[in-house]
Structure 1
Amino acid sequence: MSDAAETEKKARMSAYQRWEMASFDPVPVDRTAADQAALEKHLRRVRDEAHAQGLAQGHVAGQAMGYQAGYDQGYAKGEEEGRRDARAEAARLTSMADAFKTALQAADAVVAEALTSLALDIAQQVVSQHLTLDPTAVLAVARSVIAAEPALSGAPYLIVNPADLPIVEAYLLEELQAAGWTFRTDPDIERGGCKAHAASGEIDATNATRWERVAAALGRSQPW
């Protein structure tokens, strides 16, 4: 091989070898001001995105915590309001029950009063008819006066209506005489009633007086 060919071959090999070795070496970077600005902008964008993502996650977490806190607070408030409403409703129902009870008692009182008045009116009519239809009604009254305790003493005497005198003489004469009683008449005494007088006192068994006692026992003041 000639010297010229050998030299050319070495030159080609050296160039190849230089290219091959250099191809795996780091390429020297010549950063310009524009490249540096672009890099900084990229870094800022990455940082801003990370910050925004962190804020978003924090916001979601805060919302969740706030929702739970609001839920707990609202539940507690609703429960308390429910208890308050229940107490108010119970008080209202109790008041209604008391008012209803009072109304029933008042109604019972009115009904009782009306029934008492009706009963007295009916009783008065029945007694009046009985005294009119039964001429011997005075006998039971007179016997109760004679047997009264304490017994009258000091010349006791029985006063009856003149129309009842024949009845008294026919049925009570022996009893009166045996007890030391006499009898008299008074037209102001209604038939069926009587009075008794003695030195020790007086017994009023007229119809009006006995009726007033019955009405008073029922809490009424109703004349005969």
Structure 2
Amino acid sequence: MSDTARAQKPTLSAYQRWEMASFDPVTVDHSAAEQAALEKHLRRVKDEAHTQGLAQGHVAGQAMGYQAGYEQGLAKGFEDGRKQALAEAARLADLADAFKTALQAADAAVAESLTALALDIAQQVVQQHIALDPTALLSVAREVIAAEPALLGAPHLTVNPADLPVVEAYLLEELQAAGWSVRTDPAIERGGCRAQAATGEIDATNTTRWERVAAALGRTQPW
């Protein structure tokens, strides 16, 4: 360059030189290495986002699965508890029925035993009363005479020969006034009697009266 050119070129200060250079276009050199690094970085960011998305989805899925499992387990537990309660109630009802049946059977057995004992005692008392009290026949005979409907057509009272003196002493006037007569039969046990007439018969023997008492209590017990 000539001296004339140097003389014509303007002289710049240090500040003017920096200010102008700061606005000069920058030449970017996109080399292959930088391009590869950029692509690698982008892939890494994408992979991290994908991984993070999967992790969040897994956590959300676990939470939803836990909630669903909890609700299903709660419903199943409630249903199982209800079924178990119903089964237990049915078992207790069966036990109550069995106990009630057993109690009724026990009550029936006790009642049967008490009835049999009462009949045995009553039988002994009646037999002793008849044997010790000759006038025991009188109340039975009076009931026969006053029975309704009244026997008509030559009614007569049949008693044991050993009871005839008692009947004649205490009942003869009543029998005659009612049109009755007296007969004897050794087959009739003392304390009992039988009334007969054209219109029917009344059996008031000891055996027959006792069988009626036992039958009223639901038992069959011989005199």
Residue segments in structure 2 that go unaligned for 5+ positions in a row: none
User: Which amino acid counterpart does residue 120 of structure 1 have in structure 2?
Assistant: L
Moved more, 92-101 or 53-62: 92-101
Match in the other structure for 1:152: 151
1:31-110 map, 5 Å: 31-110=30-109
Secondary structure of the structure 2 residue equivalent to 1:48? helix
Please state how far the C-alpha of 1:28 moved relative to its aligned partner. Answer: 3.5
User: How many Å separate the matches in 2 of 1:162 and 1:56?
Assistant: 121
User: How many Å separate the matches in 2 of 1:16 and 1:144?
Assistant: 161
Please state how far the C-alpha of 1:130 moved relative to its aligned partner. Answer: 1.3
- Answering whether residue 201 of structure 2 is matched by residue 202 of structure 1, we say yes
Secondary structure of the structure 2 residue equivalent to 1:195? strand
1:97-176 map, 5 Å: 97-176=96-175
Please state how far the C-alpha of 1:30 moved relative to its aligned partner. Answer: 2.2
Secondary structure of the structure 2 residue equivalent to 1:71? helix
TM-score using structure 2 length = 0.87
Secondary structure of the structure 2 residue equivalent to 1:59? helix
- C-alpha deviations, 1:75-128, integer Å up to 9, x for none? 122222222222222222222222222222222222222221111111111111
- C-alpha deviations, 1:130-186, integer Å up to 9, x for none? 111211100101111111111111111111111111111111111111111111111
User: How many Å separate the matches in 2 of 1:191 and 1:45?
Assistant: 130
User: How many Å separate the matches in 1 of 2:45 and 2:32?
Assistant: 20
What is the number of residues matched between the two proteins?
Answer: 218
Secondary structure of the structure 2 residue equivalent to 1:112? helix
User: Which amino acid counterpart does residue 104 of structure 2 have in structure 1?
Assistant: Q
Match in the other structure for 1:30: 29
User: Which amino acid counterpart does residue 109 of structure 1 have in structure 2?
Assistant: A
User: How many Å separate the matches in 1 of 2:200 and 2:18?
Assistant: 164
Match in the other structure for 1:181: 180
Please state how far the C-alpha of 1:216 moved relative to its aligned partner. Answer: 0.9
TM-score using structure 1 length = 0.87
User: How many Å separate the matches in 2 of 1:223 and 1:22?
Assistant: 148
For the structure 1 residues 30 and 214, does the alpha-carbon distance in structure 2 shift closer, same or farther, using more than 3 Å as the test? Answer: same
- C-alpha deviations, 1:172-205, integer Å up to 9, x for none? 1111111111111111111111111112111110
User: Which amino acid counterpart does residue 71 of structure 1 have in structure 2?
Assistant: Y
1:6-25 map, 5 Å: 18=17, 21-22=20-21
Aligned CA-pair RMSD: 2.4
